[in-house]
Every structure is written in C-alpha cells, then in structure tokens.
Structure 1
Amino acid sequence: MILPGQIVEGVVTGIQPYGAFVYIDENTNGLIHISELSDSFVRDIHQYVQVGDRVRLKVIDVDQDHHQLRLSLKAARQQTLRRQKKQARMVKLPKSTHGFSSLAKKLPEWINQAKKENQHD
C-alpha cells in the first residue's frame, strides 16, 4: 500500500499542459502537476520530463478508490538533496595519532615570536 510521503519510481506515460502522467505499477498511476515539477516557473514541462523517463517521485496524496497518486518531482529532489547534504556533513576524518601534540610543541615558539614582535611595536 502506497502512503503519502513515500518515494516511488515510475515511468512518464503522457504529458499535458497541466502536468505529466506516471505509471507506477499495474494497479497505480499518478499525476505530477506542473506546480510540482520545480520551485521555479515551468514554461515547458518537456524541459523537466519526457514520455518514457523513469522518475523518482514523492507521494503527496493517495486516492485509494481510484488507485491514483498526486506526485511531486521537486519534493523528491529536495529530499534527496537533504540526504546528500547530511551525508556530506558526516565526513569521517582519518584517525590521528598525533592529536594536539604538534600544536603543543609549536606553542612556545609562537609565544616567543609574538613577544618579539610586540617588543618592536
């Protein structure tokens, strides 16, 4: 059972001025309204999808009686971008055996250098 909020894959089967029709499975079809293709103005739907394109979409609403979905291309892309940004933030650094010892060794040298510079000012 498909629920709102899920990410689904489908194939674009038709394009109209108001949106694109998508085949999800033998029992389910959906519509990507033109307003759900992009955050910016969509002049031509064909710039975003073509008949035959395989697309990842977020389910906005489900009509269980008619097995039809309201779908969003832009919401699925935003969710993917958020996941990629989160993964990028979680970069693992290589373990260091030195820790702060390098800084501790250099600190007295830097302090002396700063004192000399302050004496000349």
Structure 2
Amino acid sequence: MRRKKMMMVLKVGMKVRGTVTGIQPYGVFVDLGDQNQGLIHISECRSGYVADINQLFSVGDSVETLIIDIDEFTGKISLSTRAQAVNLNVLKHLKPVHRRRYHYWTDYQLSIGFTSLAEMRGEWLNEAEKIF
C-alpha cells in the first residue's frame, strides 16, 4: 500500500529550516523542501550593513529562517534570518481600524427619477407606434 506524501503548508511566522541553493548580490535563495523556494533579501540577512553576502552564506549551508511574507498571487516566499522571533504581543494590542464614511451625492431628496420617465412613457409609446 502506497502512502500519500504530505506537503507542508507554509504560513507567515513559521520558522523553517532550508538549504542555501544560490547566492546573488541582492539575497540568498533557500530550498525549503516540497518544491518550495524562498529568498532571504540582503536587508533580512542580519541587522546592520552587509558588505559581502558571501561572507555570511555558502551554497549548501543549512539555515533556520523565519517566513516574513508569502505573496498571495505569485507564491513567492520572503525569508529572514535577522528576525528570529515572532512578537505575538503586537497582535494583542492592535488598534481599531476607523473606516472613513464616504458620502456620495444622490438625488433621493428630489422628486425626480422614475416619475420623470413615467411622464414621458406615453409620449415615447406614441412615437414608437408612428415609426413601427
């Protein structure tokens, strides 16, 4: 009996371990398994200025990263080795969102609308009978 392979569902805030597969001047590509690949942007490698990203990572390194974003449309995964802890207290103290009320101009105060169409109906029917 064959067992179905379970795929890991990745979510923002998860810590995942991966293998460095490529290094570019702008960041590091990490294989996360299950055909998932993420990018550690150079700004997320560590705090402070990074002069040479090759001094921090090598191809084949095993790195523990934090998922900081997953693009909803492309599925691209942004990773960070700089931020290693999720501060859940931030979520507890969310400020309420005050939505602005937009006021659109309407003519509901005026006595026009369908009444003006109703008044013209008879005249339009007479014109239509003459044409057809």
**Structure 1, residues 3-39: CA drift from partner, whole Å, max 9, x if none?**
1111001000000000000000132100000000011
**Structure 2 residue matching 1:74: 3-state secondary structure:** coil
Q: Distance in 2 between matches of 1:51 and 1:63?
A: 25
Q: Which residue of 2 aligns with 1:20?
A: 28
Structure 1 stretches of 4+ with a deviation exceeding 6 A read none
Question: 1:40, CA displacement in angstroms?
Answer: 1.2
2:60 counterpart residue number: 52
- Name the CA distance, whole Å, in 2 between partners of 1:62 and 1:45: 23
Closer, same or farther in 2 for the Cα pair 1:27/1:65, shift >3 Å?
A: farther
Say which one has the larger Rg. Answer: 2
Residue pairs, 1:36-75, within 5 angstroms: 36-63=44-71, 65-75=73-83
In structure 1, runs of 5+ residues without a counterpart are 83-121
Q: Could you tell me how far apart the structure 1 residues matched to 2:32 and 2:73 are?
A: 16
- Cα distance change on mapping 1:25 and 1:66 into 2, 3 Å: farther
**Alpha carbons 1:30, 1:69 under 8 Å: kept:** yes
Q: Verify the 8 A CA contact 1:29 1:67 in the aligned structure 2.
A: no
What is the deviation of 1:65?
Answer: 4.8
Q: Percent identity?
A: 43
Greater helix fraction, Structure 1 or Structure 2? 1
